[in-house]
Amino acid sequence: MVFDGLGKTQVDEVVCGDICAVVGIEGFEIGDTIADFENPEALPPIAVDEPTMSMLFTINNSPFFGKDGKYVTSRHIKERLDRELEKNLALRVKPGPNADSFVVYGRGVLHLSVLIETMRREGFELQVGQPKVLDKTIGGHRCEPIEELSIEVPEQFVGAAIEISTRRKGALVHMEPRGDRTLLEFEIPTRGLMGLRSNLLTATQGEAVVAHRFKDYQPYKGDIEMRTNGSLVSLETGEAIAYSMNKLLDRGRFFVEAGEEIYGGQVVGEHTRDRDLNINICKTKKLTNVRAAGSDEKIILPPAVKFSLEEALEYIQDDEMVEITPHFMRMRKIMLDPLDRKRKSDSED
């Protein structure tokens, strides 16, 4: 079949340069050649970039399990990932540490977040862990994937873009003015790209145009400064109360609105310090018969910080996960019980 407008038309032959669809052949791979049976001549196979990042996919086991999604079991998730493998060339899937989890390998956070977003729109409920960059040992040395990063920004934001990229071990290799904008090209480790896009857009007032592609593996570049603030973690399951949130505004910024349903172990905000803080924002004001002037004024909270899926995946720490359902996205601790988390941290210390 050849493509005709928005549809396909069946033909007996195609000529050089035509883009066509062939039906009825199974067991083929990207780069295979359909050739003459009597005199087969194969074209040189094309190379598909190897995955540079992995992420744990697992069933949703939060207290709100099954409330929103249509497909919630590990069988549903496995069947969906198997279907994706047929058309997504750079994707790899392996069994996870338990029967309900899968390790999915892809070409960066954006590649994997497109798959997750598609699944949530189809009615899936799942949880995903922190993205992990895939290192390799080459010649006895630890090597990591390096990307070619291009950033196009207005002239006045060039300094900010260079500073943000170099803090993440990016090396400036080319700089080219284009009218009132400037093109910057870097070589940067893949792990340095996590969270970079949102930082650049903030620093350049949304003007930065960012693109990157895999280059090769190079020796490990050293530690990169990542998120330094801890999380505000809910102790109770229930409704977020404006009165409690107002009392805790000095402890950090919130990711949830007043009146939103939350559960114990959910990450509801970012702490001002570098450690996690367990808080109760489901506590209501105790009512008394005594009234004082000015004590019952209307509470006005600052707007909650809302993450896109890609930003949430880049934001979470290694002991956190993102819970994704068709209508909600929540960040949570892997261990919901605060005592379990404390025992684990004490044993690691």
| Domain limits for position 64 | 53-133
CB-based burial, 243-263: b 16+ in 10 Å, e otherwise = ebbeebeebbebbbebebbbb
The answer on 198 and 258 residing in a single domain is no
What is the pLDDT confidence band of residue 136, given thresholds at 50, 70 and 90? confident
Asked whether the beta carbons of 191 and 170 are under 8 A apart, the reply is: no
Is pLDDT above 80 for 226? no
Residue 118 is predicted with a pLDDT of 93
The answer on 318 and 242 residing in a single domain is yes
Q: Residue 165 region, left (φ>0) first, then alpha (ψ -120 to 50), else beta?
A: alpha
End-to-end CA distance of the chain: 63
Give the Cα separation of 81 and 79 in Å (integer).
Answer: 6
The answer on 341 and 239 residing in a single domain is yes
Residue 30 in any domain: the answer is no
What is the pLDDT confidence band of residue 26, given thresholds at 50, 70 and 90? confident
The answer on 235 and 196 residing in a single domain is no
Most confident range, picked from 22-26, 43-47, 53-57, 192-196 = 53-57
Residue 27 in any domain: the answer is no
DSSP state of 90: T
Q: In the predicted model, what is the mean pLDDT of residues 21-29? A: 78
Residue 41 in any domain: the answer is no
Residue 103 CB coordination number (10 Å)? 17
Residue 190 is predicted with a pLDDT of 86
What is the pLDDT confidence band of residue 230, given thresholds at 50, 70 and 90? confident
Residue 39 in any domain: the answer is no
Residue 18 is predicted with a pLDDT of 87
Query: Reduced to 3 states, what is the DSSP secondary structure of residue 155?
Result: helix
Hey, what are 185's tokens? Answer: 């090209």
What is the pLDDT confidence band of residue 291, given thresholds at 50, 70 and 90? low
Mean pLDDT of the chain: 86
Residue 37 in any domain: the answer is no
Pairing, β 53-58 against β 132-133? antiparallel
Asked whether the beta carbons of 101 and 54 are under 8 A apart, the reply is: no
Residue 321 is predicted with a pLDDT of 92
The answer on 85 and 57 residing in a single domain is yes
Residue 349 is predicted with a pLDDT of 67
Is pLDDT above 60 for 296? no
Lowest mean pLDDT among 124-133, 254-263, 336-345: 336-345
Residue 185 in any domain: the answer is yes
Residue 297 is predicted with a pLDDT of 62
Residue 181 in any domain: the answer is yes
Lowest mean pLDDT among 28-37, 92-101, 271-280: 28-37
Residue 295 is predicted with a pLDDT of 56
Is pLDDT above 70 for 292? no
The answer on 181 and 81 residing in a single domain is no
Q: Percent of the chain, pLDDT > 90?
A: 26
User: What's the CATH number where 165 sits?
Assistant: 3.30.70.240
Q: How many independent structural domains does the chain possess?
A: 3
Alpha helices, DSSP H, located in the chain = 74-85, 109-121, 158-167, 196-203, 242-247, 309-315, 338-348
User: What's the CATH number where 104 sits?
Assistant: 3.30.70.870
Is pLDDT above 90 for 178? no
Q: Which of 176, 197, 219 is the last residue of a domain?
A: 219
Residue 92 in any domain: the answer is yes
The answer on 160 and 94 residing in a single domain is no
The answer on 251 and 335 residing in a single domain is yes
Is pLDDT above 60 for 159? yes
pLDDT in tens, 74-87: 999 999 999 998 88
pTM of the model: 0.76
Residue 195 is predicted with a pLDDT of 74
What is the pLDDT confidence band of residue 340, given thresholds at 50, 70 and 90? confident
